[in-house]
Amino acid sequence: MTMNKQWVLASRPTGEPTPENWRLVESPVPPLADGQVLVRHHFLSLDPYMRGRMNEGRSYAQPQPLDAVMIGGTVGEVIESRHEKFAAGDHVVGMGGWQQYAVVDGGAAGMLRKVDTTRVPMSAYLGTVGMPGVTAWVGLTEIIAPKAGETVVVSAASGAVGGVVGQLAKARGCRAVGIAGGRDKCTYVVDELGFDACIDYKAHPDAKSLNAALKAAAPQGIDGYFENVGGRILDAVMLRMNAFGRIAFCGMIAGYNGEPIPMANPSLILVSRLKLQGFIVSEHMPLWPKALDELGAGVATRRLKYRETVAAGIESAPEAFLGLLKGRNFGKQLVKLT
Q: Under DSSP, is residue 21 helix (H, G, I), strand (E, B) or coil?
A: helix
DSSP 107-169: TSTTSEEE--TTTS-GGGGGTTTSHHHHHHHHIIIIII---TT-EEEEESTTSTTHHHHHHHH
- The Cβ-side half-sphere exposure at 314, using a 13 Å CA radius, reads 26
**Same structural domain, 35 and 83:** yes
Distance CA 118, CA 37 (A): 22
Distance CA 191, CA 166 (A): 13
Kindly state whether residue 299 falls inside one of the protein's structural domains. no
Kindly state whether residue 290 falls inside one of the protein's structural domains. no
- Domain that includes residue 7, residue range: 3-127+306-336
Q: How confident is the model at residue 295 (pLDDT cuts 50, 70, 90)?
A: very high
**Same structural domain, 97 and 216:** no
CA geometry: angle 205, 249, 328, nearest 5 deg: 50
**Are 281 and 135 in contact, with CB atoms under 8 Å apart?**
yes
**Same structural domain, 85 and 106:** yes
**Same structural domain, 268 and 188:** yes
Kindly state whether residue 296 falls inside one of the protein's structural domains. no
**Same structural domain, 161 and 205:** yes
Distance CA 73, CA 95 (A): 4
**Same structural domain, 22 and 111:** yes
Model confidence over 314-335: pLDDT tens digits?
999 999 999 999 989 999 999 9
Kindly state whether residue 295 falls inside one of the protein's structural domains. no
**Same structural domain, 161 and 210:** yes
pLDDT at 254 > cutoff 80: no
Kindly state whether residue 35 falls inside one of the protein's structural domains. yes
Distance CA 162, CA 279 (A): 15
Model confidence over 20-77: pLDDT tens digits?
999 999 999 999 999 999 999 999 999 999 999 999 877 777 899 999 999 999 999 9
Which CATH number does the domain housing residue 321 bear? 3.90.180.10
**Same structural domain, 243 and 145:** yes
pLDDT at 255 > cutoff 90: no
**Same structural domain, 238 and 311:** no
Which CATH number does the domain housing residue 203 bear? 3.40.50.720
**Are 322 and 15 in contact, with CB atoms under 8 Å apart?**
no
Burial classification of residue 170, based on how many CB atoms lie within 10 Å of its CB (0-12 exposed, 13-18 middle, 19 or more buried): middle
Local structure of residue 41 (DSSP, 8 states): E
Distance CA 289, CA 291 (A): 5
Model confidence over 80-137: pLDDT tens digits?
999 999 999 999 999 999 999 999 999 998 899 999 999 999 999 999 999 999 999 9
Kindly state whether residue 78 falls inside one of the protein's structural domains. yes
Model confidence over 151-168: pLDDT tens digits?
999 999 999 999 999 999
For the chain, the helix, strand and coil percentages under 3-state DSSP, each to the nearest 5: 30, 25, 40
**Same structural domain, 314 and 267:** no
Strands 175-180 and 22-28, by their bridges, are unpaired
Distance CA 194, CA 217 (A): 14
Count up the domains in the chain and report the number.
2
**Are 144 and 168 in contact, with CB atoms under 8 Å apart?**
no
**Same structural domain, 276 and 179:** yes
pTM of the model: 0.93
Amino acid code (one letter) for 273: R
Q: Among 177, 268, 164, 265, which Cα is nearest to 219's? A: 177
Sheet holding 275-278, edge to edge: 197-200, 175-180, 151-155, 222-227, 241-249, 275-278
Kindly state whether residue 158 falls inside one of the protein's structural domains. yes
Kindly state whether residue 288 falls inside one of the protein's structural domains. no
pLDDT score for 220: 98
pLDDT score for 60: 72
pLDDT at 242 > cutoff 80: yes
**Same structural domain, 96 and 202:** no
List of residues 6+ apart from 184 with CB closer than 8 A: 330
